[in-house]
Amino acid sequence: MDDSFNKTVLIVDDDAMMAQMAEYILKKDTEYKILKASSGMECLRFLQDGTDVDLILLDIQMPGMDGIKTMELLQKHDYWKKIPVIFLTASSDRDTVIKAGKLGPAGYVKKPFSPNDLLQRVIVTLELGQ
């Protein structure tokens, strides 16, 4: 993980406590730069402003623009669609999971997440490109 300090993770979650917990877990064990957005719109604003992001942790269930709609918009942009997205979800609703899966996420982390699950999924995605 020598170049991990060059990686930027954008955490998008309307639950400030959940976003803070994810940030803490990642900062504790990695050198990743962490950014946080509290909505899909704020996520898109970061990207529109030219913020370079290597991975997006995206909550599926958010008021306004949910994670699925956010991901659909990311997919329409030539550069943004290359950014891996890991969905964060508390949902076990089959239709939601199927709809999210069709968008080609890099993975899922079930909320509430264990620190090890989150950390391993992020590291595997960023360092191994899986």
Question: pLDDT tens across 28-37, in order?
Answer: 999 999 999 9
Residue 32's pLDDT is what?
A: 95
The pLDDT of residue 1 is above 80: no
Task: Residue 67: count other Cβ atoms within 10 Å of its Cβ.
Answer: 28
Other Cβ atoms within 10 Å of 52 Cβ, number = 13
Q: What is the pLDDT of residues 102-124, one digit of tens each?
A: 999 999 999 999 999 999 999 99
In the predicted model, what is the mean pLDDT of residues 71-83? 95
Model pTM?
Answer: 0.93
pLDDT for residue 129 is more than 80 = no
